[in-house]
Amino acid sequence: MVFKNIDIKINDLGDGVSRKVLANGGKIMGVEVSFEKNSIGAIHTHEHEQISYVLEGKFKVTIDGKESILTKGDSFYAGKNIAHGVFSIEKGMLLDVFTPQRDEFLNE
């Protein structure tokens, strides 16, 4: 299956955060999340495993109560039901990969 960037809808989540579902199928999904400077991806949990890769920018990441600073090329893993969130120190972008896929993202 092929997904062309020009055809992908951008979902404005408000407060300087937007999301694009880049590709999905079966039990995996890739999502691009863009953050304006000082935007927040609130601490949350979900039943999905998640890997996030910093495409650009600088983020303060909190995973299970522990904070780290990540920049371009860094990544993190948040296991099933582990509390995690981000704060964008600079304008930036993450590539999030979920398994199983986040079906609720497909209905936005």
CATH number of residue 77's parent domain: 2.60.120.10
Domain annotation covers residue 107: no
Domain annotation covers residue 65: yes
Looking at residue 108, its pLDDT comes to: 80
- pTM reported for the whole predicted model: 0.95
How many other CB atoms are found less than 10 A from the CB of residue 78?
23
Domain residues for the domain of 52 are: 32-90
Please give the tally of structural domains in the chain. 1
Residues 6+ away with beta carbon under 8 Å from 40: 15, 17, 85, 86, 87, 88
* Confidence band, pLDDT 50/70/90 cuts, at residue 11: very high
Give the Cα separation of 35 and 55 in Å (integer). 11
Domain annotation covers residue 68: yes
The string of pLDDT tens digits covering residues 30-76 is 999 999 999 999 999 999 999 999 999 999 999 999 999 999 999 99
| H or E stretch at 106 | helix 103-106
Looking at residue 5, its pLDDT comes to: 95
